[in-house]
Amino acid sequence: MGLHVRSLAVSAGFLGDAPVQFDERLTCIIGARGTCKSTIVEMVRFVFGCDAKRVALMLEDPATMDAHQDGPSCRGLIRAAIEGGTARVEIDEDRSGERSKLSIERSIDGSPRVFRDGVKEIADPKAVLNCVEIYSQGDLQRIAEDGSKRLDLIDQPNKQRVEQLKNERTNASARLRDLGPQIRQLRGDIEVLRDELKQLDAYRSALEKLQKDRPKLSEEMNAERQAFQHRQNILEAARRAIKRRDELLAYFRPYWDEARGFAECADEIAVLKVPETDRLADLLRRFGSTLVSVREAAASQGKIDADVVLAALAERFEKQSQKYYQLMREQQQVTESLKQEDGLKRQIQHLTAREKQLEEKRKQYESLVAERQRLRQCVSGINDMLYELRLDQVEQINATYGKVVLLTLHQGTRSEAYRGLVAQMLQGSRLRYQDEVALDLADKVRPSDLVDIVESGDSKRLADTLRRDMGQMARLVAFLIDNPSLYAVEAAVFDDWLEITMFIEGVAKPLGQLSRGQMATALLPLILRPADYPLIFDQPEDDLDNAFIYETLVTKIRELKHKRQLVFVTHNANIPVLGEAERVVVMSMQSPKRAASPLQGDVDTATKPILRILEGGAEAFKLRQRKYGPLLTGRARGDNGPTSA
């Protein structure tokens, strides 16, 4: 086995005097009700950090809890039980034939801390913290009623890989959701630019004709014109530069005063008087000095009235342009032609810049569309990988339990969240049979296809897919194109669905037709599997049929304990006795809030407590034996019922 728990000890609280030892194979924890058996299970969960939501409930302060508030019975359990102490779990880890000792410590105000060989805290504790599977009282019923939790059981052996894939899928889906509005915005920008640029060829033709037909410029007029245009270009560039300077000064102004903070930090670091802190302090001081220099330079810049300088420059240029203005007045015909020419050039210059913008936006658009396609393939690939991981587990379970419980895995079933989102988007559309259309749309059109159909306006494709009226689908597409929630559908997760069928006296019954006990029983094949990490179960018999406990559960436990560590809290004698537990931990209380040191040993050592606690005592056991004697004798002879007197 890769990992097993050796012991649990708590420095204070309910379990302060009750350290517990666990065997590598089967450990059964027994005791009267209220003897902290479940507290042991939840304390292990707390130390390992399993199920963050449940741990958060168990850490609630009892003093602040509403006595009349409904909620799980575990609320406040750990905070009340640990009393400010520290819980510690000792672990043996066997990887590639090398065994090392690990320990995990946790107090109520901290996270789990993992140590190797009692000395060094390991850098990545997640690999250890995930290596335990824990079920509390009633968990089987809760899981049986929740499809996502049933799928989690299938994922348990590949938990880390599944979580990694799900995180990747979540990130890719979120990016897909954000890409849609960006692509739509770019598409709109491109259409606007294309409309503007329709005039560009006409402007160029008009300019060419105007230059061809206008009178030829004199050399003097041509020289003055070029000089004038050069001065105008310089003046415009200067105005743009000064505007940008003012914007940058305003942007950086809030940061100037941070120089002092760097200097103070340098002084604090330098107190340690080691070469590394000296170098770091020097680096921070020099950066602070740089900020001061930049601040002073910026302050001097701010004192220069740029508008005055620009006005003076404009006035100078205006005087230098007087000759050009005079020539323009003298040559009115040429001047009018030049004005038209300048106007056309400005239009062409503006549209040429817009042409460059169009090319840039086209590249951005193509890049985002390609990224969207890549992300869609990524999400699809992740879904396939998750399905393959799950299908492998399903096939293994069916190979072992197929005659009792049969699992069927359906890939990528429709998402309720997607159905709800589609129905919400269609609100206000005034379509006939709106609710029916929404349900039909969500069941037959995947999110990516819906986005593509709406973006392309392909109402025919939608009509063919849904087998609905073309006009109605055209109105639907037109309604959805401006819906702000359209691209949110790309974040909808289509998870697999696990179908469970149980054979009752040879009759196949789906999970929904089973009794509560049968539903819980049907889940056990998903839990009782070989693994290199421990399985801890609190009173599984609460949710199971007694016949199943003896006929199937105990037999499986005897086989499985050689392949993984098992820890059971139980009130059923069949589990420790017939399961041949290597260790039995007998819990009792020395006071209402303090467990006594437990009796710990094998089944033979714990025979009397087992008889007293689980069988109701020797007299009760003998009485049942006398009552059942005739029935058992009858069965031994092959009768259908008890013998008559």
Sequence spans of domains, the chain: 3-132+534-598, 188-369, 416-491
> Does residue 172 or residue 268 have the better pLDDT?
172
The dihedrals phi and psi of 25, each to the nearest 5 degrees, come to -105, -100
**pLDDT score for 268:** 87
**pLDDT score for 378:** 95
> With pLDDT > 90 as the criterion, what percentage of the chain qualifies?
38
Radius of gyration in angstroms for the set of CA atoms belonging to the chain, rounded to a whole number: 39
Distance CA 21, CA 13 (A): 18
Distance CA 164, CA 153 (A): 16
Cβ atoms of 353 and 193 within 8 Å: the answer is no
- Give the tens place of pLDDT for each residue, 195-251: 999 999 999 998 888 888 777 778 888 888 889 889 988 998 988 888 888 888 888
The most confident of 123-137, 152-166, 286-300, by mean pLDDT: 152-166
- Give the tens place of pLDDT for each residue, 48-63: 988 888 999 999 886 6
Q: Quick check: helix, strand or coil at residue 35? A: coil
> Does residue 501 or residue 402 have the better pLDDT?
501
Cβ atoms of 190 and 362 within 8 Å: the answer is yes
**pLDDT score for 139:** 86
* pLDDT above 70 for 304: yes
Residues 6+ apart with CB under 8 A from 235: 310, 313, 314, 317
Name the DSSP class of 119: T
> With pLDDT > 70 as the criterion, what percentage of the chain qualifies?
91
Residues 6+ apart with CB under 8 A from 374: none
- Give the tens place of pLDDT for each residue, 83-131: 889 999 999 988 777 788 899 999 998 889 888 877 767 666 677 887 8
What are the percentages of helix, strand and coil residues in the chain, rounded to 5? 60, 15, 25
Bridge partners of 7, per DSSP, are 21, 90
**pLDDT score for 625:** 62
Task: Point out the least confidently predicted range of 226-235, 355-364, 577-586, 620-629.
Answer: 620-629
Whether CATH 3.40.50.970 fits 3-132+534-598: no
Distance CA 349, CA 414 (A): 53
Give the mean pLDDT of the chain. 86
Kindly provide the b/e burial profile for residues 515-535, where b requires at least 16 CB atoms within 10 angstroms of the residue's own CB. eebbbbbbbbbbbbbebbbbb
Task: Point out the least confidently predicted range of 189-198, 269-278, 368-377.
Answer: 269-278
Cα angle, residue 421 at apex, residues 416 and 423 outer, rounded to 5°: 95
Grade residue 305 by pLDDT with cuts at 50, 70 and 90. confident
The most confident of 249-253, 389-393, 399-403, 409-413, by mean pLDDT: 389-393
**pLDDT score for 362:** 96
* pLDDT above 70 for 29: yes
The dihedrals phi and psi of 87, each to the nearest 5 degrees, come to -100, 140
Grade residue 645 by pLDDT with cuts at 50, 70 and 90. very low
The dihedrals phi and psi of 245, each to the nearest 5 degrees, come to -60, -45
* DSSP H helices in 18-86: 37-48, 52-58, 77-82
Distance CA 43, CA 80 (A): 11
Q: Which amino acid is at 107?
A: S
| Averaged pLDDT for residues 499-511 | 89
* DSSP H helices in 428-490: 434-444, 447-456, 459-466, 470-480
Q: In what order do the strands lie in the sheet with 535-538?
A: 133-135, 535-538, 566-569, 26-31, 583-587, 599-601
The dihedrals phi and psi of 572, each to the nearest 5 degrees, come to -110, 120
Task: Point out the least confidently predicted range of 24-33, 151-160, 218-227, 454-463.
Answer: 218-227
Distance CA 78, CA 62 (A): 10
DSSP string, 121-160: EPS-THHHHT--EEE-TTHHHHHHT-HHHHHHHHHGGGHH
Nearest to 543 by CA among 524, 562, 567: 524
Distance CA 322, CA 330 (A): 12
| Averaged pLDDT for residues 638-644 | 44
Report the length, in residues, of the chain: 645
| Averaged pLDDT for residues 342-354 | 90
Distance CA 382, CA 310 (A): 61
Distance CA 34, CA 504 (A): 36
**pLDDT score for 9:** 96
**pLDDT score for 72:** 62
Nearest to 582 by CA among 569, 600, 608: 600
Nearest to 191 by CA among 71, 58, 307, 354: 354
**pLDDT score for 247:** 85
**pLDDT score for 552:** 73
pTM above 0.85, yes or no: no
Residues 6+ apart with CB under 8 A from 107: 82, 84, 85, 86, 87
Which contiguous run of DSSP H or E holds residue 246? helix 219-252
Bridge partners of 116, per DSSP, are 102, 120
> In whole angstroms, how far apart are CA 292 and each of 175, 249, 465, 602?
41, 14, 67, 76
Residues 6+ apart with CB under 8 A from 110: none
* pLDDT above 60 for 17: yes
Q: How many angstroms separate the first and last alpha carbons of the chain?
A: 54
Bridge partners of 568, per DSSP, are 28, 537
Distance CA 274, CA 97 (A): 43
Residues 6+ apart with CB under 8 A from 128: 3, 91, 93, 102, 104, 114, 122
